[in-house]
Structure 1
Amino acid sequence: MEITVRNKENKYVFDLEGSLDIYTSLDLKSALEDSIKAQNSDVCINLDRLTYIDSSGIGILIKSLNYVQSLNGNMCVANLKPAIEKVFKVSGLTTYFEILSTDDFQTRYSGF
């Protein structure tokens, strides 16, 4: 998996490409914890180029959300492909995460 981190004025976008699974989930955890240290950060995980997610990937997203919230920040996920969105719906994560559509993502994170 490739992770690209973009930030601007305490807003962070993590672009994920490939698979978020048992082999790569700790890479996301490390990237997020290395990047997000300030209070009140606005974090978005862009899943536009994510092709696969398993339970380890879901677990690390939940841990990431809890970490960001412990710093009084906000975290969302954006650009879910239909197969990834189905995983989120089946596991009940659509009520746990703020999920942005492509248009909402572009509006909220314009200039990135």
Structure 2
Amino acid sequence: MQINVHNQENKFVFDLEGSLDIYTSLDLKTALETNITKPNSDVCINLDRLTYIDSSGIGILIKSLNFVQGLNGNMCVANLKPVIEKVFKVSGLTTYFEILGSEDFSNRYSGF
């Protein structure tokens, strides 16, 4: 999986590409913990290029949400492909995460 991080002040976008699974989930954890060091950060995980997610990927997203909220920040996910959105719905993640479509993502994170 490839992770590209973009930030402006306290806003961060993590673009994920490839698979978020048992082999790559710790890469996301490391990227978040390296970049999100101050309270009140606004974090978005852009899943536009994510092709696969397994239970380890789901787990790391939940841990990431807890990490960001522990620093009084906000975290959302954006641009879910239908197959990824189905995983979110089946696993109940839609009740935990703010999910942005492409238009809302573009409006909130313009310039990224």
- Name the TM tier (shorter chain): over 0.9
Equivalent pairs: percent with the same residue?
83
Residue 111 of structure 1, CA deviation: 1.1
Residue 9 of structure 1, CA deviation: 1.1
Q: What code does the residue aligned with 1:98 have?
A: E
Residue pairs, 1:43-82, within 5 angstroms? 43-82=43-82
* Residue 40, structure 1, aligned to residue 40, structure 2: yes
Query: Which residue of structure 1 aligns with residue 89 of structure 2?
Result: 89
- Deviation string, structure 1 residues 44-64 (Cα, Å, up to 9, x no partner): 000000000000000000000
State TM-score, norm by structure 1. Answer: 0.99
Query: Which residue of structure 2 aligns with residue 26 of structure 1?
Result: 26
Q: Distance in 2 between matches of 1:52 and 1:111?
A: 27
| RMSD (Å), alpha carbons | 0.3
How many correspondences in the alignment?
112
Structure 2, unmatched stretches of 5+, are: none
- Deviation string, structure 1 residues 7-55 (Cα, Å, up to 9, x no partner): 0010000000000000000000000000001000000000000000000
Structure 1, unmatched stretches of 5+, are: none
Moved over 3 A (4+): none
Q: What code does the residue aligned with 2:16 have?
A: L
- Deviation string, structure 1 residues 44-95 (Cα, Å, up to 9, x no partner): 0000000000000000000000000000000000000000000000001101
